[in-house]
Every structure is written in structure tokens, then in C-alpha cells.
């Protein structure tokens, strides 16, 4: 889901043919007819980086293990030589910070005196009461960890990739698979779940062993590569630890669009507007998404906002990602050079080896999986 991407994968194989680089994003293009999905709200299109994977790629709904691809891609004339995938982690819990804010809101709701100001015509009292009674089931230990659904996301992704590229994912190529992950718990776990999905592909019906006992070994942790932003001094100084770098975001948080929502939500919940702020509202909004993605339930938080509010909150998130991770500052993208250099070097090597030793099948079969933390702002597959 939503929040936090963290895998990438590369794989090469030898048979004669033309290099084809398969981009995972092409998998998300086919949207078939959407079955009635109870885990969808009118707010779903506005969750941005916190969207459910199924909402970004509705093709997952009818059969999450069935490969889909652009029919133009990899026709007879093309043979995949290497596959690289940069993969985000699976569906995860909210972070401890988000859970803390949610608890703050919950406390605020429960502190309301019964019947004060009376129930108004908006039905606000009912919604406020429903939210106060809605169990706050997120606990501190969950802190951004992968949920069971997230493991399923990764297993299914592995199965789809393996059936999309059978030549690359052949048994004899397995020891050429390289999976790299960041040290983030959800990313390490995503890598393990991905490998278990592959195991299922090769050994249907046989329970997977511990990843440490698999042929390809467990995911390798490399934060320099996968958490490049944490190792880029310039990015840390100028953006991450710079209180004024996000001044546009701060301005929007206190601007008229947000103020409107704060007033509106305060009226609906019947709490003082001075007790609310943009961060709390944003967490409430994302809670609708988390409950849908993790539990498949529509929480009353989904009823607090309409699509006009959702557009404002979507913009707020976009604005933050723009300045912190996107085009806002040049260093944001430049900090990823280390990772992309690594990817392109391996691609070059695969092409080079292919030219030289194309008769030795299998000598250039690589599969690299990079697990990183881009998930917080990048939607993949
Ligand atoms: C922090 O960000 C502001 C706004 O972009 C910039 O003017 C300032 O130079 C930055 N500070 C540092 C230490 O880079």
C-alpha cells in the first residue's frame, strides 16, 4: 500500500535476442472491469502515496497472481536479458508518529461532554460519537511494520513476475537472483515474503523454509544503496533537517483551504477548532485508507470528509512530497544517483556479457531485488 516502497529486482538471461527492459509500471496499466469492492471509499482516488495497491492497479482484484502485461512488450522478437525491479514494501501499519496523532484525536473526541451544544442538523453528534466509540486498534508496536496483507502483496508480486518472465525465472537462474533491501523492518520482511512467493512458484504446495536456507539466501541489507537519502549530507542539511525547507507546505497548512476543513471537521466532531491542526486532519484522512487497506473496513473517518476536502488533503500530501522527495530541490533526485548508477552498471554488464558469451546460456542471468524506503512517496505496481 500506501506508504513506503521498498524493493527492486533485476534479472538477466542468455538466449539470443534483443535486450528488453521490463518496467514494472507497465503491469499496472490494464484495468479490467472492477468488481464491487467493499474496501473502496469515494476518497480512495485521493490517498496519493497512501493508496491501496489495488486502487492503483485494479487488475489485481480479479486475480492477484495472474500476470498482466502490455501485449506490445516482449513480443517474439524480444528476449529478456535482465530484469531490474525497484519495489516498494507491501501494505504496512501506520507509523508510531501517525498512531500517536490518531490517539490524540481519539482522546479529544472522548473528552467531549455528552450533548454539549446539542446535536445539530448535520448529524455531527452521531459521527462524533461513532468516532469516539470506534476502537482505536493501532498499537505503538505496529510502527510501520508490514501487515499480513503486505506479505501477501509481495508473494503475489513474485508470482506475477515469475510467470511474466519464465526464461529469467528458470530454476537454474535462481542462484543469480540478488535481492537487496534497506534495513527497515518492513522492507526486510517484504523481501522475505517475496522470496517465499518465488518458492511457491518453484515448489508448489511445499511449505517454504526460512529464507536463510533458500538457494539464493536472504535479502542483503544495503542502506547506502537503498536509503541513499539518509547518506546524502547535502540532502540532510538542506532539506531533511532544514526547518524552513518546507515553507510552502507550512503555508498551505495554515492557509484558507485548510482552515475551511479545520472549521468544518471541528463542527462535525463537535470539538474546538483550536484543538485541531492540519497534521491531525491528515492522519484522520489517511486512517480511512489504512482501515480499508489493512482491515478491509470502512471506518467512520471516511465519512468525515467529502471529495472537495479530499482534493485539498491530496494536494497537501503532494506538496510535501514535491518539496521533500520530488522536484522541489535538485538534491532530492540527485541523492538517488548511487542507486541508479548501480542499476545501470549492472545493466551495462549484462549487455556486455551477452555480446561476448552469448553461447553460455545462463551466464548472465541476474535478478536483483532492491528493497528500499521510497514507499513513503512512490507508488509502484
Ligand atoms: C533551508 O531551506 C531554505 C529554503 O529553501 C534555504 O534558503 C536555506 O538555505 C536552507 N538552509 C540550509 C542550511 O541549507
HEC readout, 76-138: CCECCCEEEEEECCCCECCCHHHHHHHHHHHHHHHCCCCCCCCCCCCCHHHHHHHHHHCCCCC
Q: What is the pLDDT of residues 282-334, one digit of tens each?
A: 999 999 999 999 998 999 999 999 999 999 999 999 999 999 988 999 999 89
Report how many domains make up the chain.
2
Q: Which residue lies with its CA nearest to atom 13 of ligand 1?
A: 238
Ligand 1 centroid–CA 244 distance in Å is 6
Catalytic residues: 89
Residues 379 and 365 in one domain: yes
Q: Distance between CA atoms of 247 and 187, rounded to whole angstroms? A: 31
Q: How far apart are CA 280 and CA 258, in angstroms?
A: 12
Do 205 and 137 share a domain, yes or no? no
- Ligand 1: atom nearest CA of 242 is 1
**Which pLDDT score, from 0 to 100, does residue 354 have?**
77
Length of the chain: 381
Ligand 1 nearest atom to the CA of residue 247, by list position: 4
| pLDDT reported for residue 35 | 39
Is the domain of 129 the same as that of 259?
Answer: yes
75 and 180 belong to one structural domain:
yes
Residue 39: phi, psi to the nearest 5? -90, 35
- Whether 237 is in a domain gets the answer no
pLDDT < 50 stretches in the chain: 1-5, 8, 12-35, 116-119, 121, 358-367, 371-381
* Dist. CA 318 → ligand 1 center (Å): 20
Shared domain check, 139 and 6:
no
CA distances (Å), 153 to each of 104, 117, 337, 377, in order? 31, 46, 28, 18
pLDDT of amino acid 352: 87
Q: How much distance in Å is there from the Cα of 346 to the middle of ligand 1?
A: 36
Nearest CA to ligand 1 atom 12: 238
- Backbone φ and ψ of 380, nearest 5°: -130, 145
Instruction: Please state whether beta strands 220-221 and 367-371 pair in parallel, antiparallel, or not at all (unpaired).
Output: unpaired
With the most atoms of ligand 1 within 8 angstroms of its CB, the residue from 232, 237, 241, 242 to mutate is 242
Nearest residue to 288 (alpha-carbon basis) of 266, 309, 257, 315: 309
Residue bearing the CA closest to ligand 1, atom 10 = 238
Ligand 1 site, CB within 6 A = 237-238, 242, 244-245
How close is the Cα of 377 to the center of ligand 1, in Å? 22
Domain stop point among 328, 351, 367: 328
Say yes or no: 2 and 148 in one domain: yes
What backbone torsions phi and psi does residue 162 show, to the nearest 5 degrees? -65, -35
What are the helix (H) ranges across the chain?
A: 53-56, 96-110, 124-133, 148-164, 185-202, 223-226, 233-235, 247-253, 256-269, 278-290, 301-304, 307-324, 330-334, 337-356
Report the distance separating Cα 6 and Cα 11, nearest Å.
17
138 in the same domain as 74: no
Closest Cα to atom 3 of ligand 1: 245
**Pair 79, 157 in one domain:** yes
CA nearest ligand 1 atom 11, residue: 238
Pair 295, 155 in one domain:
no
Helix count (H) and strand count (E) of the chain?
14, 5
Please state, in angstroms and rounded to a whole number, the distance separating the CA atoms of residues 50 and 375.
9
Do 276 and 212 reside in the same domain of the chain? Answer: no
What spacing in Å lies between the alpha carbon of 242 and ligand 1's midpoint?
6
Burial of 176: CB neighbours in 10 Å, binned 0-12, 13-18, 19+: buried
Among 233, 236, 244, the mutation site with the greatest number of ligand 1 atoms within 8 A of its Cβ is 244
Same domain, 174 and 70: yes
The predicted model scores a pTM of 0.81
**Domain check: are 315 and 178 in the same one?**
no
Question: Domain limits at 174?
Answer: 1-42+56-91+144-232+335-381
What pLDDT does 34 receive? 39
With left for phi above 0 and alpha for psi between -120 and 50, is residue 336 left, alpha or beta?
alpha
Q: Is residue 263 part of a domain?
A: yes
Q: Would you say residue 47 lies in a domain?
A: no
- State residue 75's pLDDT score: 63
Residue 186: what pLDDT?
A: 94
Amino acid at each position: 500500500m500506501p506508504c513506503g516502497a521498498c524493493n527492486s529486482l533485476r534479472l538477466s538471461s542468455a538466449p539470443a535476442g534483443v535486450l528488453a527492459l521490463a518496467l514494472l509500471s507497465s503491469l499496472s496499466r490494464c484495468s479490467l472491469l472492477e468488481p464491487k469492492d467493499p474496501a473502496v471509499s469515494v476518497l480512495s482516488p485521493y490517498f496519493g502515496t497512501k493508496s491501496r495497491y489495488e486502487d492503483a492497479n485494479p487488475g489485481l482484484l480479479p486475480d492477484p497472481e495472474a500476470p498482466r502485461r502490455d501485449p506490445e512488450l516482449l513480443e517474439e522478437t524480444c528476449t529478456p536479458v535482465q530484469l531490474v525491479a525497484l519495489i516498494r514494501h507491501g501494505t504496512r501499519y501506520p507509523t508510531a508518529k501517525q498512531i500517536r496523532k490518531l490517539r490524540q484525536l481519539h482522546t479529544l473526541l472522548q473528552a467531549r461532554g455528552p450533548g454539549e451544544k446539542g446535536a445539530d442538523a448535520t448529524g455531527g453528534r452521531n459521527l462524533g460519537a461513532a468516532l469516539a466509540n470506534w476502537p482505536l486498534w493501532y498499537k505503538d508496536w505496529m510502527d510501520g511494520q508490514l501487515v499480513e496483507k503486505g506479505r501477501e502483496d509481495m508473494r503475489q508480486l513474485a508470482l506475477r513476475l515469475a510467470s511474466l518472465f519464465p526464461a529469467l525465472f528458470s530454476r537454474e537462474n535462481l542462484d543469480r537472483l540478488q535481492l537487496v533491501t534497506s534495513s527497515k523492518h518492513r522492507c526486510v520482511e517484504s523481501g522475505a515474503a517475496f522470496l517465499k512467493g518465488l518458492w511457491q512458484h518453484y515448489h508448489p504446495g511445499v511449505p517454504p523454509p526460512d529464507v536463510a536456507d533458500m538457494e539464493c539466501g536472504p535479502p542483503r541489507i544495503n542502506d547506502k544503496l537503498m536509503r541513499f537519502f539518509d547518506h546524502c549530507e547535502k540532502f540532510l542539511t538542506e532539506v531533511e533537517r532544514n526547518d524552513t525547507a518546507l515553507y510552502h507546505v507550512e503555508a498551505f497548512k495554515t492557509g484558507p483551504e485548510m482552515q475551511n476543513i479545520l472549521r468544518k471537521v471541528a463542527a462535525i466532531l463537535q470539538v474546538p477548532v483550536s484543538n485541531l491542526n492540519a497534521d491531525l486532519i491528515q492522519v484522520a484522512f489517511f486512517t480511512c485508507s489504512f482501515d480499508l487497506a489493512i482491515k478491509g473496513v470502512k471506518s467512520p473517518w471516511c465519512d468525515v470528509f467529502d471529495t472537495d476536502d479530499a482534493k485539498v488533503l491530496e494536494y497537501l500530501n503532494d506538496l510535501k512530497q514535491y518539496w521533500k522527495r520530488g522536484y522541489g530541490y535538485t538534491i532530492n533526485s540527485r541523492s538517488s544517483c548511487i542507486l541508479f548508477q548501480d542499476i545501470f552498471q549492472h545493466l551495462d554488464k549484462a549487455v556486455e556479457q551477452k555480446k561476448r558469451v552469448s553461447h553460455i546460456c545462463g551466464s548472465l542471468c541476474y535478478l536483483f531485488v532492491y528493497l528500499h524506503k521510497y514507499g513513503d512517496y512512490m507508488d509502484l505496481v
